[in-house]
Structure 1
Amino acid sequence: MPFSSHEDHNLPLLKFESMLKTNDVYFFDSEDFQEIIHHYLDSGKVALAKKAIKIGLEQHPSSSDLKLLQVEVLVFENRFHEAEVLLNQIEAFETFNEEVYIQKANIFSKQDRHGEAIDLLKKAIALTDENADIYSLLGMEYLFLDNYEKAREAFLQCLEADMEDYAALYNVIYCFDYLEDFDGAIDFLNMYLDKNPYCEVAWHQLGKQFMSKKMYREALSSFDFAIYSDDTFIGAYLEKGRVLEKMNRYNEAIENYEITLSLDDPTSFAYLRIGKCHERLGNLDLAKKFYYQTVHEDPLLDKGWLAITDFYFKQRNYQKALYYVNKAINIDSENVRYWKRCARINEQLHFYEEADLAYQKTVELGNYELQTWLSWIDILLKLGEYESMVHTLLQALEFYPEHPELEYRLAGTYYLLSDGLKGRYHLKNALRHNYEDHITFELLFPGVYQMKTVKNIIADFKKAS
């Protein structure tokens, strides 16, 4: 039954759903079926979409558009072989249908055959003048292959078709960023803004590029233009606040962060930055207030808990610092930054066994910084755990071969374990790499340093040098 143009556009869908509830069979034209199927797919009702496709193909068995929607469902269900077979059937009759190549490319992409997907998308581009969406897909395929130059070219083609395709704009800048071509990004954005001078997104991105180059005045101007273009653009206020912090203009930074709180729901990031600004201004009570608001807003934000922990650490209130870092660890026990802070705080409180466990956890979670190893080893020295020291030092030397600070500590430990042969070997190795550091050796191992054999080794090395 045909519908007049003034009828409710939902009528085909309502009629189809009415048909499903009865034994009646209604006729729909191909376009109505496409509308119904798209509705179900967009709503995540795949089973109903499949039913509509089945009935649609029974009524319109030669409709390539319905078959392509069937392909879409097959791909969604990872039934790639069946989808390819159907696409080949469509291609045999419609060799110039770009959608066939797009769907084939989608299948290849899902199978990590990105090079083949790219070849198919290029064929699709050659078959149509409306190819902005295809260039977007092409750009994503190049990103999968880490070919950022080609990806950038593809996304630029999207922008040529539509200057306000902000997804493409972000992707172009992403490619520039990955290539660390900040100057290229700045030149591109300036050219873009010549054509689209009130694009707040472009001004915002330009400001971020200037931030990367530490050109803070230029960044500030860019964010001001972004705000002028859209005075509700929260991202621009946040970035402007960050720039003002870099310029030590903390009160102005606070004003910008506070604007974001009035424009939308408060964010933990804004609370945190306001707290940091107040702390730098010496407004400690206000800083503490905003740090607490940060973790109240987002209890899982590690930077918030670290800010409170560090706040009390700087005040030398180590007991409170320990309380909050342990609270953070209870929330996320795999956060290496929490354990690193925990180790330092326990060390200040002379809780050496707890510090030992915290440093061990820090390393287990992948923090292999030299200072972490040295701090852990020095804790073990205070505990008199010499065997554990040797084990830990040998681990550290795998990351920092023949590092003098580690070699001196290993030499001293072997002497404490009465292994003079190994002690002498590592002491000579340490002296060879950095003679001046033997002062640290004296401070850490005063008893060993006073040994006659050790003094002779150091004296002989000084004469030889």
Structure 2
Amino acid sequence: MKLFPLLIIQTLILAGVVNVCVADTDSTDSWISKGEAFTDQGQFDNAIAAFDKAIAMAPQNSTILVLKGVALQKSGQYEKAIRAYDQAIQLSPEKEAAWLNTGKSLLKLEKYEEAVKAFSTTIEIAPEDEEAWVGMGDALISLDKPGRAAEAYEQALSIDQKNPKAWAGKGETLAKQGQYDDAIAALDKATTINPNDAYTWNRKGEVLAALGKLNEAASAFGQASSIREDPKILSAKGDVLLKLGRYSEAYAAFDKAAGYDPSNGAVWIGKGVALAGTGKKTEAIAAFEQAIARDPTAADAWYQKGVVLSGINRSGDALEAYDQALRQNPGNTEAWMKKGEVHASQGESDDAAKAFDQATDINPGDISAWIKKGDALVESGKYQGAMTAYSTALDIDSKDYDLWKKQGAVLMHMGKYGDAVVAFNQSLIRYPDDPSLWIAKGDALKNVGKNEDAIESYNRAIAIDPQNAVAWSSKGDAYKGLLKYNDALQAYGQALTINPSDNGTIISRNFIVNSTKERTIKG
């Protein structure tokens, strides 16, 4: 009979324990613990929800707001993270972690001036916070202030000589200051200290790429991406591989990057360029269209699409793509150049010249634009304009010997034979074994009445190429100009032996033969 009250007592005790347990699982600390665990597991939405529960219970607790900010930051929600940190700072103005992480989020948002202020405040609160000094350096180097950045990295290293990020930052500043050997040494130090830090390998890759050490840069980015397959690292790796012409590997890097960040148009552009490099033109165009679908104002996507379209002879579509690129970026010299090349390939010389004219207006120092403008004007028969374009190009590079040959040909069209001789002589400095140049020079000399000098030029051509019928025929013309008809007939005979169907030579030879007969009859 006494057992019943005992059971009641035991039941009541157990109920109290259960209630205590339930209450405990719903406490502020328990939600904080859950949030931290979810953050460590990468379950950021669950972590944020847990921290919100904790904040609802303890709205004046700035630490919870910082923890929520970290979860938001790790999930890429940088603006929301900053708002959480701001709330923490309102409660605790000297909350070191809130200021530090605000700076980190601002770095991600590329708000470098604001990041400097946040890190400065962190350092005022905690002068020995090496992360803040590194962050300060990163912001300053992004603002192109390598001197101040170097000081920040040195401060971080004075606190911890084994901070790999500080060594990596120092390496980047040294590279910007032209101290390349020291830069590489600093980056090597960083990767030696922590060979498993993707950030450090990435910085090393960036510096090596800037120095033109592309193979080493590709290796560094490869190390970084093997540690963490971050889309930015993969894209940087892809860019370097494109420059190396390693298109299949570049495609693999961009393809992975697109998997992680499919909304990034730049990744699709890189993927398209890589596909074009492997000969997969249709797939490349589709990739560029993916980039355009994400951002219709992406000038580079339109430009690259135009390049591929022109390469498969879809000239109309290519011109439309270049026009779209130029609407977004009228200062794109390369787009104007490519547009001009398409017009030129279509025989639209005037339109080509106009496009090249735009290119030279934007970049007067671009020698290729001046040359192509000259070529288009030649095709239009506008020799004066062509000569001006070529002359401007020669002012940029007077040792472009191919260009001297073009200039000589234009001067011949204009009847400026003496100037043409000068131009051909310049070209002969580089190409003394080019028979066509000796013939061209000979023709110019012949046109100013210097037949003896012309014959010498033709003889040089014949010495290089004894079977050159044009040289023999031109030599005959020069002898004819000197009234040395027997020598002329001999030269014409050689030309016709090589090319019996050359009507010009036949007419010239027959003229001399007939003239000789008439003189004989009259005599």
| TM-score, normalised relative to structure 2 | 0.56
Deviations 1:208-250 (A, max 9, x none): 4544454433332222112123223333211110122223323
Choose from 167, 184, 195 the match for 1:152.
184
Aligned 8 A contact 1:328 1:338 in 2: yes
Aligned 8 A contact 2:168 2:200 in 1: no
Choose from 134, 137, 152 the match for 2:170.
137
**Residues 347 and 430 of structure 1: CA distance in aligned 2, closer, same or farther (over 3 Å):** same
Deviations 1:370-411 (A, max 9, x none): 432222211111222111112223333455566554344334
Aligned 8 A contact 2:241 2:247 in 1: yes
Matched, 1:192 2:227: no
**Residues 321 and 213 of structure 1: CA distance in aligned 2, closer, same or farther (over 3 Å):** closer
Structure 2: distance between partners of 1:170 and 1:185: 4
Aligned 8 A contact 2:458 2:471 in 1: no
The alignment of Structure 1 onto Structure 2 pairs a total of residues equal to: 366
Choose from 206, 209, 229 the match for 1:174.
209
Any idea what SS the aligned residue of 1:340 has? helix
**Residues 125 and 392 of structure 1: CA distance in aligned 2, closer, same or farther (over 3 Å):** farther
Unaligned runs of 5+ in 1: 13-34, 36-40, 50-55, 57-62, 70-75, 77-101, 107-119, 461-465
Structure 2: distance between partners of 1:204 and 1:449: 68
Choose from 478, 485, 501 the match for 1:448.
478
Any idea what SS the aligned residue of 1:164 has? helix
Query: Cα distance, 1:330 vs. partner?
Result: 4.6
Aligned 8 A contact 1:156 1:168 in 2: no
Structure 2: distance between partners of 1:367 and 1:265: 42
Structure 1: distance between partners of 2:493 and 2:158: 78
Any idea what SS the aligned residue of 1:129 has? coil
Aligned 8 A contact 1:336 1:367 in 2: no
Aligned 8 A contact 2:234 2:253 in 1: yes
State the identity %: 15
**Residues 206 and 409 of structure 1: CA distance in aligned 2, closer, same or farther (over 3 Å):** same
Structure 1: distance between partners of 2:441 and 2:92: 79
Matched, 1:362 2:362: no
Deviations 1:56-89 (A, max 9, x none): 9xxxxxx99xxxx9xxxxxx9xxxxxxxxxxxxx
Matched, 1:270 2:317: no
Aligned 8 A contact 1:407 1:430 in 2: yes
Which stretch of structure 1 is more off in the superposition, 328-337 or 246-255? 328-337
| Aligned counterpart, 1:380 | 411
Matched, 1:163 2:198: yes
Query: Cα distance, 1:344 vs. partner?
Result: 1.4
Query: Cα distance, 1:301 vs. partner?
Result: 0.8
Deviations 1:109-162 (A, max 9, x none): xxxxxxxxxxx979x6797333632453245435655645x5334224345554
Counting only pairs closer than 5 Å after superposition, residues 342-357 of structure 1 correspond to structure 2 as 342-357=373-388
Counting only pairs closer than 5 Å after superposition, residues 73-222 of structure 1 correspond to structure 2 as 128-130=161-163, 132-141=165-174, 144-145=177-178, 147=180, 151-159=183-191, 161=194, 162-165=197-200, 168-174=203-209, 178-179=212-213, 182=215, 184-196=216-228, 198-222=229-253
Which stretch of structure 1 is more off in the superposition, 238-247 or 158-167? 158-167
| TM-score, normalised relative to structure 1 | 0.62
Structure 2: distance between partners of 1:332 and 1:284: 25
Structure 1: distance between partners of 2:366 and 2:239: 28
Query: Cα distance, 1:368 vs. partner?
Result: 4.6
